[in-house]
Structure 1
Amino acid sequence: MLNQQDKNSTIDRNETVVELAEFNLIQQFFTRSAQRKATRLSIGDDCALLAIPEGYELAITTDTMVENIHFFPDVSPEDLGHKLLAVNLSDLASMGADPVAITLALTMPNVDSAWLKAFAGGMFTLADQYQLDLIGGDTTSGPLTLSIQALGLVPKDQALRRSAAKVGDLIYVTGCFGDAGLGLKIKQGYIGQGIQQAMERFNRPEPRIKEGLAIRSLANACIDISDGLAADLGHILSSSNVGAKLDYAQIPMSQAVITYMQLTGDWRMPLTAGEDYELCFTIVPENVSKLNVACTCIGVVEESRGLRLIRDGKTSNFNISGFEHFL
């Protein structure tokens, strides 16, 4: 039978084993040389140190993904690593920020070396596109939960915000809408055309960093589409105290999404399905000729609050709703 001193020694030894396991995990899978000059001190100390260039501000965002809520248990770890980083970079893109570094908090039920190697590979493949440094984080035991904090630089007072839309602004979007939502429906049993493309958009969204940087000096307001086009545009309208009118026929959609709607009658899906991670921004008409990114005009900002939708020659109010975490 252990006495108190023996018990304390056992606890100390167990904590040391856990600490060593965590240290080795970080060293093996997540420690790399810094790529950015802004990184002054990376993994290995109690805190990381970043140098903020004069005239710049630091944009910071955090997203968490939980198994069975944000991703299916059978998702490949490579795809999961990519997507976890992509959704955070999408937030930086919407602010016109240039990504420089990330931190990672990883909670997992057990240490699976093959899974960790694949997850890190998916994450770092995307990170290397933007010369991102992983500068710190945490690992712990528990239900599979993944969090990334992403940090980016933006010139002082030039960050794009939700609250700057003006009456008369045109509403533009990048990319197409509904493909990620279609991917989710395929995971839930839908069988139809365009499966590969839809699943690619669902599993591996591409953050619109280049587009965000390109429109930073041109757009008034911007947001990334994570919870659905109507809901996220609604955040711009609410924050800016304005309304909008959308032309449904102008919303860009893939043929796979169009076919799905024809078969099911679910015409709302491109407006309400989340995880497209495209940018939606407002811009004065005089600046449109200066745009040098692929984008589509879908509507106009109006003074009257709310969202109105032109569809089949009729204009009607559209109920703004999207994904809610606690409903």
Structure 2
Amino acid sequence: MKQLTTTAAMLLALTSSAFAEDFDLNALIEAAKSEPPLTIFDSTGKIVDMAKGFTAKYGIEAVGAKAKVPAQMETIIREVQAGNVQTDISFIADVPAAMGQLLPGGFAESWVPPDLAADIAPEAQNPLLIVASPNILAYNTKLYDACPITNIWQLTDPDWRGKVAMQDPLGKPSYTDFFNQMQTYADDKIRAAYQTHYGKPLETDKPTATAAFIAALAANGPLLTDADAAAAEAVAAPGQTAPFVGLVSAAKFRDNAGSGFSLGLCSGVDPIIGFTNATVGLIVKGTDSPNAAKLFIHYAMTAEGIAPQAEDGKMSLNTTVSLPADEPSGIAGHVAELLVYNPASGLSDWETRQDWQDFWRLNYVK
């Protein structure tokens, strides 16, 4: 996340402190206990464990269920429009969609725990981001002693034609969001990386360095998959002999132990080793358990609450919460090398999705 100025940081601390003084967690807990059970949706099955942990801690019944983002959004909109809200909380792994549809449409609202606000960066508070999920460049540790690339422009070279595995941007909005975020926040770094790799300035008919990179990557025929699991398998499944590099979720590194994979994190790649996709925590408008919903949001922003997801490399946006020391990918030591999602351009990400998809489609060569 971008660094705060000293003055801004001081103002945030003072404001957060004032709100925290008025906030009574014990009162919230008592109010929550008198409300109906909670239903929470998330795109990861780890929400089931989080709900069980919440119930064990507070004695408040909560049920977590896994659902894809489009299904969550459709359910929320229909329930609110019908005045029959059954979903209380939705963790949406699609910040632009939440900012473009759910929040302005009055279907859901964001709430930041006042006593934790000082530990959450301002850019992660409007709306409240729960976790940042890294998608990182990975290689096969049984085929290479170290990551075979040191610059992302190598992925556009003939040597890597057809040897980059990633999810299809036409079916995975977080990838087009990544393109837009890269253009918005790291275009100068993409341009500089080109000169470092080729020894000459970038000359292109594309509007930005990012657009030139995306066009070149698409034209180099990457292996497109419909899920992270398939991309991870192409890179590091047992018996794999093809020298792929892949862009995969940090969560897939658990397959090293569970399925005998040999995924290794590509560190030191100029200028970035991947990106994060953020999850926004929303309380559905019209819930009959508003206090319990706030309490669950509070719980999710603590180390105890987010632990099931932290095991998969998902990073809490509470800056005092760290990843477990034994998290499989090792991404905790390389966060500075990631393009971390910034919701300040969330609406731009939302509005340009079709443009980036069209751009990819026009440039992709199988």
TM-score, normalised with respect to structure 2 = 0.23
TM-score, normalised with respect to structure 1 = 0.25
Q: Larger RCO: Structure 1 or Structure 2 (Cα < 8 Å, ≥ 6 residues apart)?
A: 2
Higher Rg of the two aligned structures: 1
Larger helix fraction of residues: 2
Larger strand fraction of residues: 1
